[in-house]
Amino acid sequence: MLSSPLLLLAILCGSVVLSEWLVRRTILRHLGTALVVIIVVAVWANLGLIPSASQGSDVYDGIFRYLAPLSIFYLLLDVNLASIRRAGAPMLGLFLLGSAATAVGVLAGMYVIDGPTHFGEFYPAISGMFTGTYTGGSVNYNAIAIHYDMMREGVLYAGMTAVDNIITAVWMVVTLAVPMLLRRRGKLDHVPVEATHDVERETESISVLSLGILLGIGFLSLAASDALTVFLAERGLNVPSNLVLTTIALLLAQLPALHRLAGGQVLGLFFVYLFLAVIGAFCELAALGQIGDLAWRLLILVVVIVVVHGAIVFGAARLLKLDVDVAAVASQANIGGSSSALALAKSLDRMDLYLPGILVGALGNGLGTYLGFLIAGMAGS
């Protein structure tokens, strides 16, 4: 098994390069780099060529800890605030609807597999954990798991995490594919809020000066967001660090000098692709074998959850004639959190959805824990 962090990082970077080449030179251009890189790295992980989620890696941790937030920072430096106002209300509405749909999906999934019988005493905890994670991300999943002391159930917890990672990766593929397919077939009901191709700078030239300034500002802003998060927490205000970083990025985005610096969009996009590569690595099929028959019940449960969630969110968007891209990003904010929502918005070429996706993802970090405990309480009553 690959043990060198540097070699692993080289393979991830090479996978991004390979995916970009495949999209530019082959029939895979219809899928897009974001989708291809998830598939490519998932193949490497399941063949045992690189570490999977259960084996872990400092490289994966570092990408989640540093590069995913920095991708948010760099991409937000070009945000158009006028377009955000128009995308914000539908995004919030669909996100809240998606949160309720997740809870409905958990109840429906548990009914389908007869959760109380097969999960026994863990039924309330499992219900709450999946409600939490598919409302706002893994922060909620872990908060509920800690409360119910699920970490002590090592094999079951690992199997649940594997199922969660697999479906999260699959759902990223779904939310990427659905808008693309509908757009290709001419079935979109709504014209995108604002064309964003004019702000694409994915092949811009980067000078040493602009690169140094961008990296310095990015690292400084990330450190400042961490410090401010700790400062606010000590005073009883639990504000997600991504939300603090988003605020800093938006303030800096109002400085005209930063718009003249080439390289921000290239850095942000490459970090997004590395983040998606790790999502692919977390799509670990072998881990399901550790929990025996429960693996299939957990898999059915989670599939029912996301199918119900997706049917309600995309169905509402269709019924109300809302932009399917907005629905996809709102759904991804539920299922994968802020970073996933941003990655999707970038992949769909929708700059106007960057900030709304991040903000509702941050909202999900708080809402998911409350909703998770609510469903767990209902299951245990």
- pLDDT of res. 111: 93
pLDDT band, very low/low/confident/very high, at 104 (cuts 50, 70, 90): very high
Is residue 296 pLDDT above 50, yes or no? yes
Average pLDDT rounded to a whole number, residues 246-252: 82
Is residue 361 pLDDT above 80, yes or no? yes
Least confident of 188-192, 331-335, 356-360: 188-192
Q: What is the DSSP string of 233-301?
A: HTTT----HHHHHHHHHHHHHT-HHHHT-TTHHHHHHHHHHHHHHHHHHT--SGGGGGGTHHHHHHHHH
Task: Say whether 193 sits in a helix, a strand or coil.
Answer: coil
- pLDDT of res. 139: 67
274: in domain: yes
57: in domain: no
- pLDDT of res. 84: 54
What value does the mean pLDDT of the chain take? 82
- pLDDT of res. 275: 84
314: in domain: yes
299: in domain: yes
Q: What residues make up the domain containing 342?
A: 5-51+80-187+262-380
Average pLDDT rounded to a whole number, residues 298-327: 93
333: in domain: yes
- What the block records as the tokens of 331 is 């759904």
Residue 257 CB neighbour total at 10 angstroms: 8
Average pLDDT rounded to a whole number, residues 124-149: 84
Residues 6+ apart with CB under 8 A from 50: 2, 8, 11, 12, 41, 44, 281
238: in domain: no
- pLDDT of res. 102: 96
- pLDDT of res. 83: 52
Q: How many domains does the chain have?
A: 1
Is residue 185 pLDDT above 70, yes or no? no
Alpha helices in the chain (DSSP H): 5-25, 33-46, 58-62, 68-76, 81-113, 115-119, 123-136, 138-147, 154-184, 208-233, 241-253, 256-259, 264-281, 293-319, 324-336, 338-347, 354-380
233: in domain: no
- pLDDT of res. 199: 39
269: in domain: yes
Least confident of 72-76, 151-155, 256-260, 351-355: 151-155
- What the block records as the tokens of 313 is 């969110």
